[in-house]
Amino acid sequence: MNSHAATFQHHHAAHCESGVISNLLRHHGVPVTESLAFGLSGGLAFAYLPFIKINGLPLIAYRSLPRAIIKGLLAPLATRFRFETFRSPQAGAKRLDDLLAQGQIVGLQTSVYWLPYFPPDMRFHFNAHNLLVYGKEGDEYLISDPVFEHPQRCASADLQRARFAKGALAPKGLLYYPKAIPQKNITPEAVRVAIRKNCRAMLPPVPIAGVRGMRWLAKHVDKLPAGEKHSADFIGQIVRMQEEIGTGGAGFRFIYAAFLQEAAQLAERPVLAQFSERLIAIGDGWRAMALKAARMIKGREPVNPSTIAALLRQQADQEEAFFKELQAAVK
C-alpha cells in the first residue's frame, strides 16, 4: 500500500460526484465540504431528458451533467485536473495501476450495476457513478465510494467491467486526478459567481431544464393514463431519480441549503442564511411529493398522475420565485 492510501480519509457524502471531488480536494489540503463543492460548482439543476432511456423510462436529472460538478470547481479554486478516457480496457487498467503506484488518489466514472459491493436492489444500469480509488492490495482495489458509509473493496475484474460498461453515459474508463491546486482558500467573489451561475441554470431559456423542465415533465405526467402499470412505473421513476443512492434529487435541495448557510459567512452576506431556510422548506415539498407518489405505487391510494403533476408545478413555482429572488440578492 502506498503512503497516500495510508493517510487518505474517507468521508460519507450524499452524492457521488460532489462527495468524490470534496474528498479528493480535502485529501490535497483544500478545506471543502461536500455542500461547498456542490454549491461552488453550481451543481443544482433539473433536467427532463425523455430521449435518454434507462430500462425504458426517461432520465430525470436533479443535478448538472456528469463531470459538471468537478469541472465547475476548477475555476473557483483555480485548480487543474487531468481527465483521461481509454479505447482499450487494458490500457485503462494499466494507467490506473500506474497512477496508484505513483501515489495518486484517482477518481473514476463507473457503472453502478457491475459494482458487486452495491446492494442487489440498487444495481441498475446507471453509468455515471463516481468513486475514488486510493490503493490496491493484491487483486483488490481500495475504494472510497462516498455514498457508502465506509470504504469498500472491489476485485479488479469487477472494477474493470464497471469502468468500461457500455450504453447511455458510457464512462469509457474515465479517470481523473488533480494536476495543480495553487489556491486553497475560497473568495467571497467565487461564492457570488457560483450562486449567480446556479440561478441561471435553474431559470434557463430552454424548456427541458430548470423550472421549465419541471413544468414540461408535469405536462407529460398529466397525460399518463390513470391506473396503468406503466404510469405507476413512470411516477416511481421520478421519485427514484429524486431519492435514490447517488442521485438524491430532493436531497440536493438540502445540500444546496447547507451550501447557502456556509455561503452566508464566506460571502459575508447574512441574507443567504434566510434563503437557506427557504430552500429547506422547498426540499420538504419534494419529499412530500415523493411520499404521495410512493403511496400511489403501493396501492394505498389510486394512481392519479394529475395529482403528481400538480405537485410538480407547485414545486416549479416555488423554485422559480426562490431563484429569482436569490439572483437579485447576489447581484
Partner 1 sequence: MDLDNVPQEGNATLGGHRKAVYARDASGRIVIAPSKGWEAEEIVTSNAVDTLQALAEAARQRVQAGAASPLEYWMCARRMDVPLLSQTSGYWQWRVKRHLRPDIFATLTDKHLQRYADALGLTVAEIRKLP
The single residue among 121, 185, 270, 331 that binds partner 1, judged by CB under 8 A, is 121
Interface with partner 1 includes 107 (CB under 8 A)? Answer: no
Query: Which residue's entry shows cell 424548456?
Result: 207
Q: Which is nearer to partner 1, 113 or 323 (CB)?
A: 113
Residue 14 engages partner 1 in binding (rule: CB under 8 A): yes
Q: Tell me the window of 71-79, 99-107, 147-155, 206-214 that interacts with partner 1 (CB under 8 A).
A: 147-155
Torsion, Cα of 310, 316, 322, 325 (10° steps): -120
233 binding partner 1? (CB under 8 A) = yes
User: What's the closest the beta carbon of residue 182 comes to partner 1, in angstroms?
Assistant: 29
Return the residues of window 194-213 that contact partner 1 according to CB under 8 A: none
Residues 6+ apart with CB under 8 A from 274: none
Closest CA to 152 of 165, 178, 175, 134: 134
How many other β-carbons are positioned within 10 Å of the β-carbon of residue 216?
19
Task: Restricting to residues 149-168, name those near partner 1 by CB under 8 A.
Answer: 149, 161, 165-167
Longest CA–CA span in the chain (Å) reads 59
> Of the two residues 32 and 100, which places its CB atom closer to partner 1 in the complex?
32
- Residue 89, exposed/middle/buried by CB under 10 A (0-12, 13-18, 19+)? middle
Which of 236, 278, 285, 310 is in the footprint of partner 1 by CB under 8 A?
A: 236
Q: Is 49 in the site for partner 1 (CB under 8 A)?
A: no
Our finding on whether 75 is near partner 1 (CB under 8 A) is: no
Q: How far apart, in whole angstroms, are the C-alpha atoms of residue 315 and residue 285? A: 7
* Alpha helices (runs of H) in the chain, residue ranges in sequence order: 3-7, 16-27, 34-40, 68-77, 89-101, 156-163, 188-202, 210-223, 229-243, 249-266, 271-298, 305-329
Count of residues interacting with partner 1 (CB under 8 A): 56
Instruction: Tell whether residue 87 is a contact of partner 1 (CB under 8 A).
Output: no
Pick 190 or 303: Cβ nearer partner 1: 303
Residue 254 in the binding site for partner 1 (CB under 8 A): yes
Name residues contacting partner 1, limited to 264-283 (CB under 8 A). Answer: 276, 280, 283
129 sits in the region (left: phi over 0; alpha: psi -120 to 50; else beta) called beta
Q: From the CB of 94, what's the least distance to partner 1, in Å?
A: 20
Residue 245 binding partner 1, by CB under 8 A: yes
CA nearest 203: which of 310, 51, 325? 325
User: Which residues contact partner 1 by CB under 8 A?
Assistant: 12-14, 19, 34-35, 53, 55-56, 113-114, 118-125, 146-149, 161, 165-167, 170, 229, 232-233, 236-237, 239-240, 243-245, 248, 251, 254-255, 257-258, 261, 276, 280, 283-284, 287, 290-291, 293-294, 297-298
